[in-house]
Amino acid sequence: MQPIQVFSKEWFELHQDKLLKFANSWVGRRVFRLKSNLPKGEKLVRITPESSHYHKDGDEYVAVSDFQTYVVEPALLGLADS
């Protein structure tokens, strides 16, 4: 089994519960810059590498922010094995 790349779609799926718990906290709202994008009292229900979503009404879900995550090779950060 190959390791999961940090910030990949698979990584977000694996850590969805923890990410949502953090993002829905007051600190997480600031880190993810959700204060102005997420209506007061609403909670995120899904986070992906490109967006976050909350449940509006019925079957309607709204993307409230747009951000990008980047995968960087360890060698570019000077972290490659010697």
**pLDDT of 9-63, one tens digit each?**
899 999 999 999 999 998 988 887 777 778 888 899 998 888 888 888 888 888 8
| Inside any domain, residue 16 | yes
Strand ranges inside the chain, DSSP E? 44-47, 51-55, 61-66
Task: Decide if 3 is inside a domain.
Answer: no
Split at pLDDT 50, 70, 90, the class of 82 is: very low
Number of folded domains in the chain?
1
Pinpoint the alpha helices (H) of 3-64: 9-14, 16-23, 26-31
- Residue 64 in any domain: the answer is yes
Is the residue at 44 inside a domain?
A: yes
Average confidence (pLDDT) over 1-14: 86
Structural domain including 18 reads 9-77
pTM: 0.71
